Structure 1
Amino acid sequence: MVLNPREEMNNKTMNGYQWFVIGICILLNVIDGFDVLVMAFTAASVSAEWGLSGAELGALLSAGLFGMGAGSLFLAPWADKIGRRPLILLCLLISGVSMVAAAFAQTATQLGAMRFITGIGIGGILASSNVIASEYASSRWRSLAVSLQSTGYAIGATIGGIIAIALISNFGWRSVFLAGGLTTLFMMVVAYFALPESLDYLLVKQPKNALERINALAKKIKITPLTALPTVTIDTNQPKTSLGKLFNGSLSFQTLCLWMSFFFVMFGFYFVMSWTPKILSANGMTTEQGVTAGVLLSAGGMFGAALIGLISSRIRIFYVQAAFLAITAVLIILFVNSTAVLTTAFILALLLGTMANGCVAGLYAMSPSIYDADVRATGVGYAIGFGRIGGILSPLVAGAFLDSGMSSLALYGYYAVAFALAIVMVLSLSRLKNKQAAQLQFNQAPSA
């Protein structure tokens, strides 16, 4: 007996349409990866043109991350109210227009403002596309689906770095922003025609024509159509606000552990991804070699996100995530000690990118499983938004430390500690989920 479409989709073999939807989410992240790290790849050129200090450049690198935090906190929750699809389309428009405007910035302040606005759009896209990828996957392949969706970020960053090298050499740094903006607007058109609404959203929120839309999706997914909409039970004891629901009862400590996991990982990740090209250039490499190392960090992410997803289809995602975090911390120390030998530095950059991007993909794979459908986008959005606080602080802290004369070895060492602290949060979250599952099993056990 089919209990509901969600239950049936959880247990069926995934078909081509489900993977197609996940493929669209991957493309959305490709655009986001380009748009996010375009500042890192143009940092040296922008700094040279305007004579920026380390702190000023750090502020520019953080502007986009600050916007992403705002988008995750204030835009992403609207996906639980108006739908995942409409919010993604709006955010693509915001990101595309601001990227084009950034190409015409005449001062660092103007560029920073456009980076902030671009970040707002990206924040909404990342949270919503992550949720859609999760909601269109079956139980077995959910971690892989979300992890593959995360590979789009690394693909976009890698392609962006390659394109940036060619465009900066021939047309200057402004052309990189223009190319990213036009591509983002093109992706908005693609999403308008190809991206469906979330089945979970339609089942829980039941907007206009929900039954017809659910059955149209059921036909494509090849699950049993509904004859009537399911009854939605409203718990009057639950908090009224979305944020309040995230801290309701036993969910509160899980939310805190998830938030801190995102904070520590984003703090370390955005330092490695944002500052590495500039630091390597300052330590004797050419600008091209520094950007190449940055591209290799991003290229490694294509493998890391897929790798953590494949492993977690057999081993619990929390344990895989803890292992990835530990290896990343070690690789950060090895990488900063290898810069004197170019080949070794490039190999370690690839490995570090693999593991660091895998850590981020693991967080995205973990987070949807914490929350129910009615607050899932809100929960994921707030977790990502809290993580962005770490991402915002990261380049600013690094810029201040570099201006004070701190060595690269000491600086990378401090950021390795962030990944180590994240291990504690992830294992704590795993213990809470185990306890919750055991309690649920006990409650459902038949009485003697």
Structure 2
Amino acid sequence: MRIDVTEKKEVVRLNGFHYRVLTLCTLLMFFDGFDLIAASYVAGDIARQLSLSPQQLGISFSAAVVGGVLGAVCIGLLGDRWGRRPAAILSCLIFGIGTVATAWSDSYATLLGWRFIAGIGLGGATPIALSMGADFGPKRLKGTLSLVMYCGFILGGLAAGAVSAATASALGWKGLFLIGGGMTLLLVPFFVLWLPESLEVLVRQGRKAQVALTLRRLSPGFVPLADDEYVIETDTSSKGARLSSLFLENRAAVTVMLWATFFFTFLALYFYANWLPTLLREMGLTPDQAIAATVAGQVGNLCCAVFFARLIMKRPVYNVLGLTYIGAAPMFWVIATIGGNFDYQLVANLIGGGLLAGSLGCLYALAPLAYPSDIRTTGSGWAIGVGRIGAILGPMLAGYLLSKGWSAAELFQLSGIPPLIAGGLCIMLGARLSRARGASMAKVGAAL
């Protein structure tokens, strides 16, 4: 019997197998969020111990992101060609080792080197996690499951704040990296034992027994037969895991707009996440108040992610994205205006941080759905990789402008522009996907 595995897995009900995959992928996202926020909490301590200038501190923020660009592209390509499972394990190993080693940095050069290495693993983890969620999730829930995994990213940021507060006096800034990297390395055995390979990858590799076993786990009522032939008959328009495949079959415009949206999102988000505590202290808040306002942004992020996870079940992802970007942009100008008023800063960061980071969650949900399964990790990896160029430039630009005498308020005013651009791109992306109905992108438009 000829069995289309993509069609088979997309009509099943969620069961324990789905939840296991979802949990492991969410943990990958958790450590991405932990690492992003951890550096901002201990930035002042690192700068004092290693005698870093604001510009050097901005570059150190970007070192992990530079590695993340390389990891997102290369490990993403590896995930499509060799398999999601080995790529996920490799990402965890590289990130864990690089993060633990960061704790022993004794100079600016070694700090940059280890942060770059950690970033390679971290950059590969996100597209792998998103692709695994899209690979195993039922069609009606793919976007929602991506946002659920993104909640792991948010919780990682909240955990970084809690760990920083609990260990600051005893372990200093190094303790945060030791704990984060050590926990990531402890995750590797669980990936080796419990993380399955994507069905589409198994079919392309001709591993018939593993395909049958995975289908039985996805659908306990499925009974494989000796003469079953497993195929992938949906999403056959791509030509394999190559960069050029992202621009074939009417995908070029969608790819470019998706890349640009990720770029401007990361540009604003990484400036906000890395520099927020430092800039709020400059505006008059105490260190504890600055951390509280930063945590408020993470709480808002979590609330928005939960809300959007339900909303995108009824609305197209790109429509929700447009609303979040439009709401996030003016909040940066509000943060700049209210200055050192702690109560107002809590509310502004709760709303602004939540909308900005919530937009990234929706964008993560969109990326895997924009491509067929055999180039899904490559497509997500390149989109995130190009976006991380914005993540590199955001912290570095802020450090440079601070060294040139810009105030914190002026930086916040400037940072409201990228979300507006991203919102416009989302509107155009939605229009493009609507026009693509009936062509090779019609299935993507329907899924969104």
State the match for 2:201 in structure 1. Answer: 201
Question: 179, 188, 211: which is aligned to 1:214?
Answer: 211
CA contact (8 A) 2:3 2:230 kept: no
Judge which range, 104-113 or 335-344, deviates more: 335-344
> What does residue range 94-113 of structure 1 map to in structure 2 within 5 Å?
94-113=94-113
Structure 1 residue 163: Cα displacement? 0.6
CA contact (8 A) 1:72 1:382 kept: yes
Q: Deviations over 1:7-64 (max 9, x none)?
A: 1332333223213311221111112211232211110111122232110100011111
State the match for 2:446 in structure 1. Answer: none
User: Would you say 1:133 and 2:130 are equivalent positions?
Assistant: no
State the match for 1:224 in structure 2. Answer: 222
Structure 1 residue 239: Cα displacement? 6.0
> What does residue range 28-427 of structure 1 map to in structure 2 within 5 Å?
28-203=28-203, 205-207=204-206, 210-222=207-219, 224-227=222-225, 228-231=228-231, 242-427=242-427
Q: Distance in 1 between matches of 2:56 and 2:75?
A: 28
Q: Distance in 2 between matches of 1:442 and 1:72?
A: 27
Q: Distance in 2 between matches of 1:347 and 1:170?
A: 32
State the match for 1:446 in structure 2. Answer: none
Structure 1 residue 387: Cα displacement? 0.2
Judge which range, 13-22 or 58-67, deviates more: 13-22
Structure 1 residue 285: Cα displacement? 2.0
CA contact (8 A) 2:200 2:373 kept: yes
Q: Distance in 2 between matches of 1:68 and 1:225?
A: 42
Amino acid at match of 2:338: S
CA contact (8 A) 1:335 1:345 kept: yes
CA contact (8 A) 1:211 1:226 kept: no
Structure 1 residue 137: Cα displacement? 1.1
Q: Distance in 2 between matches of 1:298 and 1:371?
A: 30
Q: Deviations over 1:59-114 (max 9, x none)?
A: 01111111111101122110001111111101101111111111111112111111
Amino acid at match of 1:206: Q
Judge which range, 1-10 or 423-432, deviates more: 1-10
CA contact (8 A) 1:135 1:199 kept: yes
CA contact (8 A) 1:162 1:295 kept: no
CA contact (8 A) 2:301 2:355 kept: yes
Q: Distance in 2 between matches of 1:79 and 1:8?
A: 22
Q: Deviations over 1:320-347 (max 9, x none)?
A: 0110111111222222323322122112
- Change beyond 3 A, Cα 1:133–1:63: same
Q: Distance in 1 between matches of 2:198 and 2:358?
A: 25
Per the normalisation by structure 2, the TM-score is: 0.93
- Change beyond 3 A, Cα 1:136–1:372: same
Q: Deviations over 1:242-284 (max 9, x none)?
A: 0011111411111101100100111111111111011112222
Q: Distance in 1 between matches of 2:88 and 2:240?
A: 25
Match of 1:88, SS?
helix
Q: Distance in 1 between matches of 2:252 and 2:238?
A: 13
Q: Distance in 1 between matches of 2:140 and 2:439?
A: 22
Instruction: Mark the runs of 5 or more structure 1 residues left unpaired by the alignment.
Output: 444-448
Amino acid at match of 1:337: T
Q: Distance in 2 between matches of 1:111 and 1:171?
A: 18
Match of 2:229, SS?
coil
Match of 2:115, SS?
helix
- Change beyond 3 A, Cα 1:226–1:436: farther
Q: Distance in 1 between matches of 2:278 and 2:350?
A: 17
- Change beyond 3 A, Cα 1:98–1:166: same
The alignment's C-alpha RMSD in Å is 2.4
CA contact (8 A) 2:2 2:231 kept: no
- Change beyond 3 A, Cα 1:307–1:240: closer
Amino acid at match of 1:28: L
Amino acid at match of 1:288: D
Judge which range, 283-292 or 129-138, deviates more: 283-292
CA contact (8 A) 1:55 1:396 kept: yes
Structure 1 residue 195: Cα displacement? 1.4
Q: Distance in 1 between matches of 2:25 and 2:80?
A: 17
Q: Distance in 1 between matches of 2:285 and 2:267?
A: 25
Match of 1:337, SS?
helix
Judge which range, 2-11 or 145-154, deviates more: 2-11
- Change beyond 3 A, Cα 1:343–1:326: same
Q: Matched residues, percent identical?
A: 27
Structure 1 residue 296: Cα displacement? 2.3
State the match for 1:9 in structure 2. Answer: 9
CA contact (8 A) 1:15 1:221 kept: yes
CA contact (8 A) 1:91 1:121 kept: yes
Q: Distance in 1 between matches of 2:249 and 2:6?
A: 25
Instruction: Mark the runs of 5 or more structure 2 residues left unpaired by the alignment.
Output: 444-448
